[in-house]
Amino acid sequence: MDAKGKTVQFSRIETHDIVHPSDANAYGNLFGGHLVALMDKAACMVAYRHSEAKVVTVSVDGIYFQHPAPVGTMLTLLASVNRAFHSSMEIGIKVIGWRPNEPDVEICKAYMTFVAIDEDSKPMAIPPVIPETEEDKRRYNNAMIRREARLALRDKLVEKGPSSL
C-alpha cells in the first residue's frame, strides 16, 4: 500500500456505452436498473484501481435520475474517488448522454461506497486520497459530510433496534 496516498487522477476513469433497445423500458428509455449496474461497474473499477485490492460495494447514496436516456443515446460515465477512509472509499459517478444534433445532458449522478477486502474477505487499509484541484478538494470535503450523515443515520436506526435497518 502507498502510505503517501494517491491522487484523484490516478484512478479516475471515463467509459462509454450506448442505449440499445434491449436496455430500454416500454417507453423507449434506458432502464434505471441497467444504468445503476453500469455505474456500479465504473465505480468498482475506480475503487479497484485506487486500492489495488478486491473491492465490494457497500452502499449507494443519492442516485439522482435527472433525464431519460432514449434508445440510441451514447452514455459517458465519469467516475473518480472522492475520499478514502480506513478501508472504505466514496466514488462519485456522473453519466452524460449524447444524441446527434442535441446538447449533452446529465442523465444521472450518484455516490457509491466501496470497501477493500483482503484474501479472507476482511476489510483492509487503503491509501488516502490526495486532492489536487479545487474541484477535488470540494468533493473531498463533501464526502466527509456525506459520510458523517450516513453514520449518524445508521446510529440513529440502530437505537431503534435491528429491524429498523
Domains of the chain: 6-164 (3.10.129.10)
Q: How confident is the model at residue 154, as a pLDDT?
A: 85
Cα separation of the two ends of the chain: 34
Q: How confident is the model at residue 62, as a pLDDT?
A: 85
Q: How confident is the model at residue 162, as a pLDDT?
A: 66
Please choose, from the candidates 110, 76, 80, 111, the residue with its C-alpha nearest in 3D space to the C-alpha of residue 96. Answer: 76
Residues in the chain with pLDDT values less than 50:
1
Q: How confident is the model at residue 3, as a pLDDT?
A: 60
Q: How confident is the model at residue 66, as a pLDDT?
A: 97
